[in-house]
């Protein structure tokens, strides 16, 4: 699947059918006792005002913030927003990252966890992100990435992709490569202040294996073939499988 509109439709259906799947998976992972969402928001701590959470999904960023920190989540998916409300995360807006219902320069802290790799189109979303950030404002992005991986984990993912019949990929993957993202950000008055990678560990059991495979965007894979991927991950039962994450910090000039 290469067409932008087709990808957008697929992603919308995926999240309405599997609300909270990303939070369910990443909530099982850790790196030295920290989960990916806490790692994502760490560069925003201590900033005054409401944290705007783009593509907020089921709202895991809200849970990662300190108690009392104001937060507003925005997402296009009714299913994800319903899941967030059920978890008591009620400061929610249904809307698009490419047309934010927010005044210019109104935000000093913005998070986007596991969303920018599929937001379409990407450049308008970055333009909107820059527009709503105040001078000196900061955005923290959490993105999937392909490394760091040890040899055993790499072999597991290669086997999984072979069984699935397609690579694990995202429509904005090439555009979010470090140099390309830095150039795009600069065009919108943003600077990349940090770009880091960290491997979070998933303790594998049958449920975790099924969650991982269900969480993947696989628009060209039949359900039966997806199901055949679960035993590949479950072969690592009792072991810890790396889930590599990338954190990008953007500052508004």
Rg, C-alpha atoms of the chain: 18
Are residues 111 and 53 in contact, defined by beta-carbon separation less than 8 angstroms? yes
Read off the pLDDT of each residue in 237-248 and give the average, rounded to a whole number.
99
Instruction: Kindly give the pairing relationship between strand 71-75 and strand 51-54.
Output: parallel
The residue-averaged pLDDT of 204-215 equals 98
Domains recognised in the chain with CATH numbers: 4-147+171-202+241-252 (3.40.50.150)
Q: State pLDDT tens for residues 182-195.
A: 999 999 999 999 99
3-state SS, residue 33? coil
Per-chain mean pLDDT for the chain: 97
Q: DSSP string spanning 129-154?
A: HHHHEEEEEEEEEEEE-S-S--HHHH
Write out pLDDT tens, residues 135-163. 999 999 999 999 999 999 999 999 999 99
Q: Identify the helix (H) or strand (E) that includes residue 235.
A: none
Beta strands in 62-106 (DSSP E): 71-75, 92-94
Q: Is the bond into 126 cis (omega within 30 degrees of 0)? A: no
CB-CB contact of 218 with 161 (8 Å): no
Evaluate if residue 1 carries a pLDDT over 80: no
Peptide bond into 205 cis (omega under 30): no
Non-local (6+) Cβ contacts of 124 within 8 A are 98, 99
Q: Judge whether residue 99 has pLDDT over 70.
A: yes
Higher pLDDT, 245 or 48: 245
Tokens of 50: 């409401």
Q: How confident is the model at residue 2 (pLDDT cuts 50, 70, 90)?
A: low
**At residue 173, does pLDDT exceed 80?**
yes
On whether the CB atoms of residues 242 and 199 are closer than 8 A, the answer is yes
Residue 3: the pLDDT is 80
pLDDT on residue 60: 99
pLDDT in tens, 11-25: 999 999 999 999 999
């Amino acid at each position: 699947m290469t067409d932008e509109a087709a990808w957008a439709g697929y992603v919308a259906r995926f999240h309405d059918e599997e609300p909270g799947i990303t939070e369910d998976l990443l909530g099982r992972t850790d790196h030295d006792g920290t989960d990916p969402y806490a790692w994502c928001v760490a560069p925003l701590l201590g900033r005054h005002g409401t944290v705007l959470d783009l593509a907020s999904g089921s709202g895991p960023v809200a849970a990662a913030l300190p108690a009392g920190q104001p937060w507003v989540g925005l997402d296009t998916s009714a299913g994800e927003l319903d899941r967030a409300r059920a978890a008591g995360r009620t400061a929610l807006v249904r809307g698009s990252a490419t047309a934010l219902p927010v005044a210019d320069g109104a935000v000093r802290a913005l998070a986007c966890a596991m969303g920018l790799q599929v937001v379409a189109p990407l450049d308008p979303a970055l333009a909107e992100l820059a527009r709503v950030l105040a001078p000196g404002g900061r955005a923290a992005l959490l993105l999937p990435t392909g490394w760091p991986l040890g040899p055993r984990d790499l072999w597991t993912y290669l086997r999984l992709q072979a069984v699935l019949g397609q690579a694990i990929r995202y429509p904005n993957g090439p555009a979010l490569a470090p140099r390309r993202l830095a150039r795009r950000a600069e065009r919108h008055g943003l600077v990349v202040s940090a770009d880091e990678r960290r491997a979070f560990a998933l303790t594998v059991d049958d449920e975790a294996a099924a969650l991982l495979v269900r969480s993947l965007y696989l628009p060209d894979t039949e359900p039966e073939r997806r199901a055949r991927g679960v035993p590949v991950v479950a072969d690592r039962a009792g072991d810890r499988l790396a889930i590599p994450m990338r954190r990008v910090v953007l500052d508004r000039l």
